[in-house]
Amino acid sequence: MSFRHFWHRTTCGLRNMFWAPVVFTVLVVAIVPAAVVTSRAHAQSTVGVQWNTIATDRGDHLPDFSFCGYHASDDPLPSNSSVSANILLAEGGDQTARIQNALNSVASAGGGVVVLGPGEFALSAQGLVVPSGVVLRGSGVGQTLLKCGKLDKAPLVSLGSNDTSSDGVLPFLVANIVDRYIPIGTAQLTVDNATGFVAGQNVFVQRTVTDEWVRANGMADLVLDGKQQTWLKSGLVVKQPRKIKSVSDSTISLDVPLTDALDTTNNLMQASIVAYNPPTNASEIGIEDLSITLSPTCSGAVLGTACDNPAVSFGPWTVDSWARNLEITGFNSFVEVQYNASRLTVQDVAMYRDANAKDAGNTDSALSADVLIQGTQVLVADCSQRGLASARSFSVMTGSLVPGPNAVLRHSAPSDDQIIFPHQRWAHGLLVEDTSSSVRLINRATNGTGHGWAINAGVGWNLRGTTLIQSPPLGVNWCIGCSGKIDNRSNGTFLQTGQAVEPRSLFAAQLQARRG
Ligand SMILES: *[C@@H]1O[C@H](CO)[C@@H](O)[C@H](O)[C@H]1NC(C)=O
Ligand SMILES: *[C@@H]1O[C@H](CO)[C@@H](O)[C@H](O)[C@H]1NC(C)=O
Ligand SMILES: *[C@@H]1O[C@H](CO)[C@@H](O)[C@H](O)[C@H]1NC(C)=O
Ligand SMILES: *[C@@H]1O[C@H](CO)[C@@H](O)[C@H](O)[C@H]1NC(C)=O
Ligand SMILES: *[C@@H]1O[C@H](CO)[C@@H](O)[C@H](O)[C@H]1NC(C)=O
Ligand SMILES: *[C@@H]1O[C@H](CO)[C@@H](O)[C@H](O)[C@H]1NC(C)=O
Ligand SMILES: *[C@@H]1O[C@H](CO)[C@@H](O)[C@H](O)[C@H]1NC(C)=O
Ligand SMILES: *[C@@H]1O[C@H](CO)[C@@H](O)[C@H](O)[C@H]1NC(C)=O
């Protein structure tokens, strides 16, 4: 079959994908009408909430999520028509080398846009790396299709770098933090010696994991099948990446308020601030306006194979970049943000799982994620899983020790089998708002390998789906304006339960307040 012939068929296939998920959505609504009706009824009454006065006894405030996204949401995403194509490629044949050469030559010329015309572009498993300053743009969803038959060792499209391991950096300056308790939401700290710290520096506000802190959080005695599970090893460093805004005597102000409290009382932790230079400056990278299909499908595949590779990956340390207006089919992982990537926007990405684990012959209980966040200041907005309602997944998940703020707005999924669910080990500062998806911010205890407390300083805001939110002994997770079914194992801080609240979007309200 010629490519052109196949493309015509695929174009129909893309159209068909629109009605297949609709059928499933209708089925779900028919099966669980009670939950849907309840949340609609509740959503009609709203009550105003003074979000900026919400605080715990120790002074922890809601994290400021408005710093999530491309350029910390200070600037809009570049318009997809503002910059014209530097290189326009037409369809046909295996295009991996041709597209990669075009991307590289635009990068060498100082950055710009590579536009793929309408049609089908075949990619080999080596995939593409979009370099700093370059945008890979299609001619529209359903118009331009990147098609791949097999994954190998790397993501299909990497923004910045296709090496997904996290490069270490060595700090060049260290100072001890002397405050006894710094609540969530604080942007200032006091150090013993601020010499050498200046505005604009990249810093990690960090602290070591101690046995005392692990024990006080109830994580010291996790035993599974007679075996002790280690949640977080003593000595591990928990890092909050920030930039210095200003320095005055021994007080350092940060660009973004902290999303995890620092508590030096009772030997719980020692805290310090270190300055470092990032290993790359990869930024202003985009992928937009196209469809991506993997066929034969990897959806539902057992984890630990080449099928783990995502369609789109933000490489480690990539900043101020985006993925938007995409339709992705047939992957087991769709979008991944690697460690230390930051200020990123994932907007209007529709994902289709076209097989579930059972169909894939996978009897393992481990699930993959639609969207995996391991970086910080990531904004995932208006994205959706639209594939099989029976295809279980972590709809959005964070990894171990992932620092906030990160935000998920108006996410949707076909059923309660796709859960917005931080995965393991003390990620912090995650907002999930205005969604009917099922959300879990919990203690996973011995599950996994002793995944334990998966998230601290999580905020569910105007959640309409099934909700399970718990608070750690040394932390807090909030649920505000949650009107769906509340799982009775919840013990987080619930405010205005059973009705939607105003502002409808905490993210938008915080952004407005910050802009003044
Ligand atoms: C990563 O990208 C480079 C540059 O395109 C390519 O040569 C290499 O094969 C890719 N790595 C893997 C593991 O596919
Ligand atoms: C450009 O973006 C707009 C708005 O996001 C979208 O409607 C349009 O389809 C995009 N253009 C193309 C060629 O895809
Ligand atoms: C980010 O980079 C630091 C410094 O190299 C490294 O220690 C850390 O593991 C990476 N990931 C996170 C989440 O900080
Ligand atoms: C403060 O730090 C600077 C730079 O690291 C160092 O030169 C100086 O000796 C330190 N001052 C004290 C009092 O420790
Ligand atoms: C990043 O940019 C800064 C400022 O322009 C420069 O000093 C630094 O060398 C760059 N780092 C890398 C790894 O290219
Ligand atoms: C652990 O996993 C089992 C099986 O999926 C589940 O029933 C149980 O609720 C989980 N426990 C916690 C604490 O999440
Ligand atoms: C909430 O429930 C979890 C899970 O049972 C438990 O580990 C935790 O200590 C409880 N939190 C509070 C604040 O009581
Ligand atoms: C909690 O809910 C479950 C069903 O989801 C029910 O079986 C159980 O009895 C409830 N427990 C309490 C204490 O209400």
Mutate-to-test residue for ligand 1 from 98, 104, 123, 126, highest number of ligand atoms within 8 A of CB: 126
What's the pLDDT score for residue 34?
31
What's the pLDDT score for residue 2?
32
CA pair distance 404, 429, nearest whole angstrom: 4
* Ligand 7 centroid from CA 2, angstroms: 60
Q: Which ligand is nearest to the CA of 224?
A: 6
Q: What is the dihedral of CA 194, 196, 197, 201, to 10 degrees?
A: -170
Tell me if 201 sits within 8 A of 243, measured CB to CB: yes
What's the pLDDT score for residue 126?
94
Ligand 1 pocket by C-beta < 6 Å: which residues? 100, 126-127, 129, 153-154, 162
What's the pLDDT score for residue 97?
94
Report the atom number in ligand 4 closest to the C-alpha of 193: 1
Q: What is the dihedral of CA 357, 438, 313, 448, to 10 degrees?
A: -60
Q: Whose CA is nearest to atom 4 of ligand 7?
A: 443
Determine how β-strand 376-381 pairs with β-strand 406-409.
parallel
Residue 264 per-residue DSSP state: -
Q: Whose CA is nearest to atom 7 of ligand 3?
A: 168
What's the pLDDT score for residue 83?
63
For the chain (length 516 residues), average pLDDT per consecutive 10? 30 30 27 33 73 97 98 95 73 87 95 93 96 96 96 97 86 97 98 98 98 97 95 96 98 98 94 97 98 97 96 98 98 97 98 93 91 98 98 97 98 97 98 98 96 98 98 98 98 97 98 95
Mutate-to-test residue for ligand 1 from 162, 164, 338, highest number of ligand atoms within 8 A of CB: 162
What's the pLDDT score for residue 84?
67
Tell me if 413 sits within 8 A of 383, measured CB to CB: no
For residue 36, how many other CB atoms are within 10 A of its CB?
A: 17
Q: Whose CA is nearest to atom 11 of ligand 4?
A: 193
Instruction: Say yes or no: CB of residue 110 within 6 Å of ligand 3.
Output: no
Radius of gyration of the chain (CA): 23
Q: Whose CA is nearest to atom 3 of ligand 6?
A: 447
CA pair distance 349, 335, nearest whole angstrom: 9
Residue tagged 């964070």 (tokens): 398
* Ligand 1 centroid from CA 120, angstroms: 22
What's the pLDDT score for residue 61?
98
Tell me if 402 sits within 8 A of 373, measured CB to CB: yes
What's the pLDDT score for residue 116?
93
Residue 330's nearest CA partner among 58, 14, 12, 118 is 14
Residue tagged 């075996």 (tokens): 227
CA pair distance 57, 211, nearest whole angstrom: 24
What's the pLDDT score for residue 94?
81
Instruction: Say yes or no: CB of residue 202 within 6 Å of ligand 5.
Output: no
Q: Whose CA is nearest to atom 5 of ligand 2?
A: 325
Domain residue ranges in the chain? 171-276
CA pair distance 154, 162, nearest whole angstrom: 6
CATH topology of domain 171-276: Elongation Factor Tu (Ef-tu); domain 3 (2.40.30)
What's the pLDDT score for residue 46?
86
Residue 133 per-residue DSSP state: T
Residue 307's nearest CA partner among 166, 165, 148 is 148
* Ligand 8 centroid from CA 468, angstroms: 13
**In the structure encoding, which two tokens stand for residue 216, read together?**
């006080």
CA distances from 112 to 55, 117, 290, 365 (A): 46, 16, 17, 44
Strand partners, 367: none
Give the angle subtended at the CA of 161 by the CAs of 155 and 167, to the nearest 5°: 110
* Ligand 6 centroid from CA 402, angstroms: 22
What's the pLDDT score for residue 6?
29
